[in-house]
Amino acid sequence: MFSAMRHPYSDIPEIAELQAGAALVRIPDRLSVPFTPRVRALVDTVEFQRLAQISQLGLTAKVYPGATHTRFEHALGVFHNACRYLWQLGHDPRFASVVDPRRAELLLVAALLHDIGHWPFCHPIEDLQLPGMPTHEEFAAEFLRPQTELGQVVESEWHLPVAEVLDVLHPASNSPPLRLLRSILSGPIDIDKMDYLERDSWHCGVPYGRNFDRDRLIQSLVLNAAGDGLAVSSKGKTAAELMVFARYVMFSEVYWHHAVRAATCQLSRSVFEILPRLDVRKLLPMKESEFVAALCRAAAETDAAPLLDGLFGPKRRLHKRVAELSASQQPSLYERLAGRGYEELVEIMRRLTPRLARDLGKPLGPTDVLIDAPPSHREVEFKIDIYSRKEGVYRPLGEVSPVVAALARTQFDEAVKKVRVFAVADVAVLLDPRRLLRHLGDVVE
């Protein structure tokens, strides 16, 4: 049982407001976020306001029209979850002995600023691993320097060095307390996933990301055996299973929906083609509308122009799915394509297109056929322990859950992140998928 002594974070204004409900701002779906003067000071900076001009799901809105919510809204939701996590975990003496009030405030600031380095369409562009393109965690330093408005507010209003906030967002040290804070911000059961699953699901108009008990899961949070990460008590086992499954279904039906990936393919190939024409350091700080305009200007009279026009022009024109590979269907070819560097994929596309043109007896443009393959990094879904207070034992969720064990055996990434071949609409209807796959097998080294 947790101690009944005074809560260790009750003097933190945002935690106090979470309980009192006075200084609040409302975000969908019916969340009341603590909005103290020092939170407002962060939110009102030019660096944070930029997030209101960057969509959370980018090209997903081409398929799910309601998915136009922003990283601004998501950041407030993650901050709200950080307050809830701290209120729950603060009852645990083990947690409170590691995370003192100053570290708790460090987590609150990091939660609010966890996406500050994001640029428009960040994740698909990051997946390309192009030269000169930083990760969004690295790019956070551009907005969180002592001389920026945001950096000045962090130091003057929160009395935290910006270097410590950046250390949570983009690790430079590896102490147990910081590993614990990072596991809350980015781990198997973290405040980021807890928000975006429900928020993305709500805005997309689908139920999949909301079908788990968030309250039960938060109430079951405990420290892991090592004291440097989170675990879940046995009463939260079912909620943890459902969260894992919710993420699996959201990837399957939303994030890796075939039409979403078609749009992503068009953007990825466009950025690859026009990268030499782009000034990355000027491009990445832009708002989304400015970013799109800069891409379209750079793509003028190039092979990327029709791809971007299909995404951002007056008429929506997405490439159509022609063939699909998974680890269970065509596994050999799938394994030869999944995780390939994007430059290698482009070379495969360039070798494939002339073969298909000969089959069809008509010329094909260099970007008429596109290949989408999962990036090299993999999702980690299962590394969370279930703690039995009765036995005093921690066990991996995958050992005690038949649902999670089944997902682990089928490999989350391979089940939802398929290799797909897309083509412009008038070509897609002419291509025979079986012949296409034979040609693809021939050109893959």
Residues 182 and 147 in one domain: yes
In DSSP terms, which residues pair with 423 in a beta bridge? Answer: 320, 369
Residues 354 and 312 in one domain: no
Q: How many CB atoms are located within 10 Å of the residue 93 CB?
A: 12
Q: How far is CA 399 from its chain centroid?
A: 27
Q: How many domains does the chain fold into?
A: 3
State residue 176's pLDDT score.
94
State how far the Cα of 76 lies from the Cα of 69, in Å rounded to an integer: 12
Contacts of 8 by beta carbon, 8 Å cutoff, 6+ apart = 90, 96, 100, 101, 104
Residues 73 and 118 in one domain: yes
| 252 belongs to a structural domain | no
The first and second tokens of residue 320, run together, are: 């159509």
The 3-state DSSP composition of the chain as helix, strand, coil percent (nearest 5) reads 55, 10, 35
Q: Write the CA distances from 104 to 15, 111, 164, 196, 209, integer angstroms.
A: 10, 11, 12, 22, 28
Could you tell me the CATH number of the domain that includes residue 234? Answer: 1.10.3210.10
Residues 309 and 331 in one domain: no
State how far the Cα of 113 lies from the Cα of 48, in Å rounded to an integer: 8
Domain boundary among 296, 318, 340: 318
Q: What is the mean pLDDT of each run of 10 residues along the chain (445 residues)?
A: 74 93 89 96 98 98 98 98 97 96 98 98 95 92 96 98 97 95 95 97 97 96 96 96 93 97 98 96 96 98 97 97 92 94 97 97 97 86 88 94 80 87 98 97 92
401 phi, psi to nearest 5 deg: -120, 115
| 294 belongs to a structural domain | yes
Q: Specify the DSSP class assigned to residue 215.
A: H
Residues 334 and 308 in one domain: no
Contacts of 239 by beta carbon, 8 Å cutoff, 6+ apart = 212, 213, 214, 216, 217, 220, 232
Geometric angle at alpha carbon 14, from 181 and 21, rounded to 5°: 135
CB 422 within 8 A of CB 428: yes
Domain boundary among 186, 217, 244: 244
Residues 90 and 42 in one domain: yes
The domain of 87 spans: 13-244
Residues 17 and 112 in one domain: yes
The owner of tokens 């609010």 is 112
Domain boundary among 199, 218, 244: 244
| 410 belongs to a structural domain | no
Residues 33 and 123 in one domain: yes
State residue 380's pLDDT score.
65
State residue 376's pLDDT score.
85
The first and second tokens of residue 295, run together, are: 């891409």
| 356 belongs to a structural domain | yes
| 381 belongs to a structural domain | no
At 322, the amino acid letter reads: V
Instruction: Give the CA diameter of the chain.
Output: 79
The owner of tokens 């990837």 is 251
Query: How far does the chain reach from its first CA to its final CA, in angstroms?
Result: 59
Residues 296 and 350 in one domain: no
Residues 272 and 234 in one domain: no
| 407 belongs to a structural domain | no
Residues 92 and 166 in one domain: yes
State residue 110's pLDDT score.
98
| 114 belongs to a structural domain | yes
| 401 belongs to a structural domain | no
- Rg of the chain on CA atoms, in Å: 23
State how far the Cα of 77 lies from the Cα of 132, in Å rounded to an integer: 31
| DSSP E strand boundaries for 274-367 | 320-325
The first and second tokens of residue 92, run together, are: 């645990």
Contacts of 155 by beta carbon, 8 Å cutoff, 6+ apart = 146, 161, 162
The first and second tokens of residue 171, run together, are: 């690790």
Residues 232 and 301 in one domain: no
Entry field: residues in the chain: 445
State residue 381's pLDDT score.
64
